[in-house]
Amino acid sequence: MNLRAIGCNVASASVELREKLAFNDEKARRALTELNARFDAEAVVVGTCNRVEIYVARQDTVAALHAPLMAEFLSEVHGVPADAILPHLYEHADADAAKHLFRVAAGLDSVVLGEGQIAGQVKDAYESAHKATATGPLLNALFPSALRVSKRVRTETGIGQGHVSVSSAAVDFVRQVFDTFTDKTVLVIGAGKMGRLTLKHLAEEHPAAILVTNRNADKAAAVAADCGGTVVPWAQLDDALVRADIVLSTTGAPEPIMPARRFDEKVRRSRAGRPLVVFDMAVPRDFDPAIHDGDAVSVFNVDDLAREADRCLGERRRHLPAAEQIIDTEVSKFVEDWNRRANGPVIGQLTAEIDKLRAALLEPMLGKLNGKLTAADKSLIEGTFRLFQNKLLHGPIAALSEASREGHSGSLRDALRKLFRLNNG
């Protein structure tokens, strides 16, 4: 195969450079068209917030599209000097390119190990290129395989389990207390960024209601509008805490807004033992830690969430060897299957060519000996010629099969075409 994966990611290029090389839909369409026309190559452009990659494939094995050529191409597309791009590009060829894509799709090459969204982004990139008729036989086999492998990795390992950010780890804590979210009320206190991020993850669980309160009524209204929540006046904070099942607090107040004594007198008694989970994400803290009783009321701070995120990430790392083994197995299978498929036309042409040559030599000879041979003699001669043909073909075909397993049958196919004067069909 003649496959290249060329690009940059968060490990090789700054965010400033990645922003300059980012593809919007229109630039991606024009780039795909140009890659097809200028280089006679299949192409897919994969872009996320952490990477920009171009996957290109050609039918021949002579001319490859290397990083310097892609740096020039990216320079033309984005107006960034090529010498500012090239040092930050990585390049993977053939089996290594397939492995890179499989790892990307499975979330093994992400900033957050096991990132689940990247598979969808790879799928969207491939479907866009396919719709634009920019893909061909190799990429049409490669990308669906990558998506299938990604699903297998996530199904057969724990690489995607748990939440590995401070904001999303809150969902794991809540699941330890509640079996379902759809009958729960979330109370948001304040308008801090971390609280909003956490609310986003909790909102994806479809709670029954979201209440928002803030000393600043306009800020409360803005948060409520973003999440479809209901504004509660700041003066009704105690009542809102009685109603809530889950609390996100990020006020930035210089001292606790909810002392233990006030909570015990105004809130705890009215809740009648109903479970409450409080995420106090403010620094300094909004809720007195003494409110936590380890039974009906649980209070978690930012450090608790960070430890949970680290624990989940450590658990994901434990599954990394199993995920890498799946990737290696699937890459070997893909390369062997692809090379076997690519070998088929050459083997067919070679067999037909030798078969034609055998017939061209055998038929005149049998014609001259017509009437001088018994049926058994004729059968023996024909069988001998056929056995010679099979032995002659065994070496090249076996060598192609061996090269396919090793992932470099392309050059051997080209050599056979030249040696036996086969066409490229």
Domain with CATH 3.30.460.30 in the chain: 2-161
Cα Rg for the chain, rounded, in angstroms? Answer: 32
User: What per-residue confidence (pLDDT) applies to 90?
Assistant: 97
User: What is the spatial distance between Cα 44 and Cα 141, in angstroms, rounded to a whole number?
Assistant: 13
DSSP single-letter state for residue 6: E
pLDDT averages per 10-residue partition of the chain, 425 residues: 91 90 92 93 90 90 79 95 96 94 94 84 95 94 96 93 78 87 94 81 91 94 92 96 95 91 95 94 90 92 85 89 96 86 73 83 86 86 85 80 65 74 68
Binding-site residues for NADP(+): 190-195
> Thinking of the domain 2-161, which architecture would CATH place it in?
2-Layer Sandwich (3.30)
pTM of the model: 0.68
Query: Helix crossing, 193-203 with 217-227: angle to 10°?
Result: 30
User: What per-residue confidence (pLDDT) applies to 359?
Assistant: 84
Binding-site residues for substrate: 48-51, 110, 115-117, 121
For residue 62, the Cα-to-chain-centroid distance in whole angstroms is 30
> Thinking of the domain 179-306, which architecture would CATH place it in?
3-Layer(aba) Sandwich (3.40)
49 included as an active-site residue = yes
Q: Could you tell me whether strands 51-58 and 42-48 are parallel, antiparallel, or unpaired per DSSP bridges?
A: antiparallel
User: What per-residue confidence (pLDDT) applies to 261?
Assistant: 95
Closest alpha carbon to 8 in 122, 109, 88: 88
Residue type, 288: D
User: What is the spatial distance between Cα 219 and Cα 231, in angstroms, rounded to a whole number?
Assistant: 10
User: What per-residue confidence (pLDDT) applies to 360?
Assistant: 86
User: What per-residue confidence (pLDDT) applies to 409?
Assistant: 64
User: What per-residue confidence (pLDDT) applies to 284?
Assistant: 83
Binding-site residues: 48-51, 110, 115-117, 121, 190-195
Determine which one of 8, 49, 227, 312 is catalytic: 49
DSSP single-letter state for residue 89: -
Domain with CATH 3.40.50.720 in the chain: 179-306
